[in-house]
Amino acid sequence: MKSTILTNLLLFIFTFSAYAQQVAITGKVIQYDTQKGISGADVYIKGTSTKVKTNKDGVYSVTGLTVGKTYSIGVFKHGLTPMEKDISPKQGGNSLNFTLRVIEKILEEVAVIETDETNEITRLEAIEGTSIYEGKKSEVIQIDNLTANLATNNSRQVYNRVPGLNIWESDGAGIQLGIGGRGLSPDRTSNFNTRQNGYDIAADALGYPESYYTPPLEAVDEVQIVRGAASLQYGTQFGGLLNFKMKKGNPSKPFELVSRQTGGSFGLFNSFNSIGGQKGDVNYYALYQYKRGDGWRPNSGFNVNTFFTAVNYDVSDKFKIGVEFTHMNYLAQQPGGLTDDEFYSDPRASYTDQNWFKVNWNVASVKLEYKISSSAKIEMRNFGLLASRDALGLNLNKQDPYNEPRLLVADQFRNYGTEIRYLKRYKIKGKPSALVVGTRLYHGNDDKKQGDASDGNDADFTFSHPDSLLSDHDFTIQNYAFFAENIFQVTDKFSVTPGVRYELIGTKGEGYYQKVFYEVGDDGLIEEITRAEPDSIVNNRSIFIAGVGFSYKVNPDLEVYANISQNYRAITYSDLRSLNSNVRIDPDMKDEKGYSADLGMRGKLKFLNYDISAFYLRYNDKIGLANPANPIRTNIADAYTVGVESYAELNFMHFINPLSNYHFNLFGNVSFILGKYISDDKVYDGNDVELVPPFNIKTGINTGYKAFNLSLQYTHVDKQYTDAANTEVPLSDAVYGPIPSYYVMDLSMKYHYNWFGIETGINNLTDNMYFTRRATGYPGPGIIPSDGRNYYFTFQFKI
């Protein structure tokens, strides 16, 4: 009897103990492109018979799991990519979420993708929407996962895991983005095809490709970067594609408010506010940002207003429509450039209060998407831009800066275009393949005026009088393009992706410019006469370029990729006509042509994310600044850049305790690049290509505990030249000369909990004095110093 009681007591204790150690795992399964919960998805424990289905909101719960035991949880839904994640349940709440992509975005329907929702950088899939990225070098920056100064769009931090980029840091407010690479100028990111949600936002894609508008990164979901091979689908440019993918409304709420208020050094105040949500089949998102500051140097204050709204309506399972509108305006004072002596004496000095810059930007887009069948879809993007930029200032005369009128350069842009893409998935001998074909119709117009304005120091953007115009041109570009790419899956692991693009480009310019003539008068004396000289430019050409990409997936964690693609850069409006007194224009200038090639390997293990590649970029008739003593913008010579770009991030906690709430990652972004001119002219043959730092590194740590995160970054950029002649001793106006090597450190922290968040940091932690740019004209001329040490503090509220 006693034995039976004891046995029952022990059995009860054992059963209770076992029950007490059993817990549940709950979570949500959502679809990547719609951000909606997926109903009816199978959630299972690998190696067991346990399986549940998600409810109508995509929520699931798996019970009866033992604390401390490791389980592999899998999710499957027909038409979506299956996924598995490992978890060791703990006492208390256990949450595990999944994000699935539609099967059309990968080529192998049995592929299993593991994702880490804290990754700061990922890569594009083989197919995204109606675009093909197989065999191309790509990076995707996950903005919400960054620990960085988003209020000022700090490029050094945001792009810290993208190797090979050369960044101009002459705009501490983050109003204009300046990134380049592989010998391409960072000037307003003009060598990238810059887009927002897939449509153009630059001044003029071909004629004036500068980007005066940069989306507020607090409103951006992803920044997508594709290198030179993107020219086949997005344009002929050497740099590739830069696309800002904006956030959408929260799909699980009808209304959500996010408010971020930032204060910082030098009078910085940034107020970012957004609303969004989903009601039925309608998703909406809208934001307003106001930003102001005094600037690190005197005479460098700014005021910025940005508004963006988007409405997306799923008319049916097959038909979707999206409408977007963006407005941005800002007024900024420019403190001017410095000579080398002035910079090393006092880098914060400013010797003029007369320079001002004003931008008004409006972009609209309508996107139509129709799913023809389960294997085919068509997409149309219609977009238009109505914008202006006005630069007011003068070339500095330090003795008496008010003794002559200021120069006003005013541009009015009116552009519109349409892109249509058709994607078809099919099989060849049982292997999945994909074809994308598309066309682009584009019209660009720039009404450019240059002339005398007032000699005061206020922001008066008016010409002195009608006769004060030094030039007046109406530039137009007509562009028609056709492109096609196809993924051929040769084996289960190896694919080949050829592509072609055909372009018709027509450039036209009508107007006049003032020209000085010297004639003998009636009195026999030589007279100086200024009169308007009619000016007409017409240039029509057709271009055919082609390329091919290769991808070999050794295993799910390792891919070897390669591509080669022809590139083309049309002469811009600035190349055709300019009144910059520091630079002459060669009237016989030609378009640039060349090609780019990449060979690399990339992958992601549980403890390592990496991408290492070599590249070769060839320019024929490279345009640049020649003859520093009497500068002229011309086709200098043929040139090439070759190098290695590498990125790796190591998760140390994987080796210590993979299930710990602590994380400690070390990342490194290193590039070695060599750029050389090839010329019969001994002045340039063998010279270094300008704006190519031979060594460029960004490295740092990312660590934290649960919702707290800390990031420390170190940047070092090697010495680089600013002209093809490799001017070693800076000229008196500091327009030409080297950019010395420099290093800079950034420290940032953030903590987010439910509806509340705090972010803070110090940029340029060691208060280094350095510069990344020598301006040939506005906003210089001369050295444009980068900001010294500064801090920021952000409060976020989410309701």
Question: In angstroms, how far is the first alpha carbon of the chain from the final one?
Answer: 63
Residue 113 binned pLDDT confidence (cut-offs 50, 70, 90): very low
Judged against a pLDDT cut of 70, whether residue 179 lies above it is answered with yes
Average pLDDT score, the chain? 88
pLDDT of residue 21: 54
Region 526-549: mean pLDDT is 83
Q: How far is CA 246 from the centre of its chain?
A: 12
Structure tokens, 637: 């010579």
Judged against a pLDDT cut of 70, whether residue 18 lies above it is answered with no
C-alpha 54/C-alpha 59 separation (Å) is: 5
pLDDT of residue 83: 86
pLDDT of residue 153: 92
Neighbour count for residue 201 (Cβ, 10 Å): 25
C-alpha 551/C-alpha 136 separation (Å) is: 9
CA atoms within 13 A on the CB side of 727: 21
Q: What's the one-letter identity of residue 449?
A: K
For the segment 70-93, what is each residue's pLDDT rounded down to a tens digit? Answer: 788 889 886 677 888 888 887 666
pLDDT of residue 467: 75
pTM: 0.86
- Going from N- to C-terminal start, the domains of the chain cover 22-101, 222-798
For the segment 646-691, what is each residue's pLDDT rounded down to a tens digit? Answer: 999 999 998 998 888 899 999 999 999 999 999 888 888 999 999 9
Residue 108 binned pLDDT confidence (cut-offs 50, 70, 90): very low
Could you tell me how many helices (H) and strands (E) the chain has, helices first? 6, 42
Structure tokens, 263: 């204060």
Q: How far is CA 643 from the centre of its chain?
A: 21
Which whole-number Å values give the CA distances from 428 to 2, 126, 431, 490, 548, in the listed order?
A: 76, 17, 5, 9, 19
pLDDT of residue 403: 67
CATH H-level superfamily of 22-101: Carboxypeptidase-like, regulatory domain (2.60.40.1120)
Spatial CB neighbours of 537, under 8 Å, sequence gap ≥ 6 = 507, 508, 509, 510, 576, 577
Judged against a pLDDT cut of 90, whether residue 119 lies above it is answered with no
Q: What percent of the chain has pLDDT over 70?
A: 90
Judged against a pLDDT cut of 70, whether residue 553 lies above it is answered with yes
Least-confidence region, from 315-329, 457-471, 490-504, 731-745: 457-471
- Backbone phi and psi for residue 763, each to the nearest 5 degrees, phi listed first: -95, 145
Region 437-444: mean pLDDT is 97
Region 758-778: mean pLDDT is 94
pLDDT of residue 400: 53
| Pick among 2.40.170.20, 3.10.450.200, 3.30.420.40, 3.30.300.30: CATH of 222-798 | 2.40.170.20
Per the CB < 8 A criterion, the answer to whether 675 and 688 are in contact is yes
For the segment 346-370, what is each residue's pLDDT rounded down to a tens digit? Answer: 999 999 999 999 999 999 999 999 9
